[in-house]
Amino acid sequence: MAYMRFFRRIQIAPGLTMNLSKGGASLSCGVRGAHITMGRTGIRKTVGVPGTGIFYTSHSGYHTGVHTGRHFQNAQAAPPTGPATKSTLFLLLLCTLLGYLGVHRFYAGRYLSGAIMLVLTLTLYGWVIVVLWWILDWCVIVAGQFHDGHGNRIRW
């Protein structure tokens, strides 16, 4: 059976590339042998020895370990740690006014991604990425699909 593949890598700046595929877009940052890729399924960190094929990859975010975990009969997913107590309206206001600094992510308890947004805002080409990220976050918040630091969805 035949199927179609699509992959395109676009270099935005030295050490920063945008990857496009039929599965979605992702952003890679790093040097040969060590990079971080942020996409729709989460964050993938890869470290390796260039030219040898030896590498280590860790993945965090959505779909982590879905196909690698053991199958249990009558198993249920662990419930989130508790109900989301964050105000969606205040989160949207923070995202609209100070989203380019990642303030809304700090409010939601997503400290690492908030810090990444803050650092990228201060870099020469990073602000381009942050503006796209900011718009995407705003749309996700309006759609009611934004998650806090504990994995709870912040809904309207």
pLDDT tens digits for range 68-88: 555 545 555 555 555 557 788
Alpha-carbon distances, residue 117 vs 81, 90, 121, 127 (angstroms): 26, 19, 6, 9
Could you tell me if 103 and 56 lie in one domain?
Answer: no
pLDDT for the residue numbered 42: 81
Looking at the chain, the whole-number percentage of residues with pLDDT higher than 90 is 2
pLDDT at 86: 76
pLDDT at 39 over 80: yes
Q: Are residues 140 and 93 in the same domain?
A: yes
Q: Is the pLDDT of residue 66 over 60?
A: no
pLDDT surpassing 80 at residue 18? yes
Q: Based on the domain organization, do 98 and 53 belong to the same domain?
A: no
* Structural domain includes residue 69: no
**Domain assignment of residue 148, yes or no:** yes
Is the pLDDT reported for residue 44 higher than 60? yes
Is 108 a residue whose pLDDT tops 70?
yes
Domain that holds residue 18: 7-60
Residue 120 · residue 126 · CB < 8 Å: yes
Mean pLDDT of the chain: 80
Q: Which helix (H) or strand (E) holds 117?
A: helix 111-121
Number of domains in the chain: 2
**Local structure of 13: helix, strand or coil:** strand
